[in-house]
């Protein structure tokens, strides 16, 4: 699923802000998430690092 579909499927796009929580629904690289290892042709891809940086904001740490 892409981010838009996850937002609809979970209902968090409405429930999060209603509870005062910012929600984001990023798309995975080429439509997929790679939580354990990057694809062979994209060895620098690091989904866990990306989500950590996304959630920590500019210059911060989660």
CA distance 15 to 8: 11
Query: Is residue 3 helix, strand or coil?
Result: helix
pLDDT one digit per residue (tens) for the chain, 62 residues: 789 998 999 999 999 999 999 898 988 888 888 777 787 888 888 888 888 888 886 665 55
Q: How many residues does the chain have?
A: 62
Query: Is residue 43 helix, strand or coil?
Result: coil
pLDDT for the residue numbered 35: 74
Residue with tokens 């802000």: 17
Cβ proximity of 47 and 34 under 8 Å: yes
Angle at 36 between CA 33 and CA 38, to 5 degrees: 65
pTM above 0.75, yes or no: no
């Amino acid at each position: 699923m892409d981010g838009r579909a996850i937002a609809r499927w979970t209902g968090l796009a409405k429930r999060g802000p209603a509870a005062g929580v910012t929600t984001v629904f990023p798309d995975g690289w080429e439509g997929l998430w790679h939580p354990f290892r990057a694809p062979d042709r994209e060895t620098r891809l690091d989904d866990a690092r990306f989500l950590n940086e996304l959630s920590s904001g500019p210059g911060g740490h989660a």
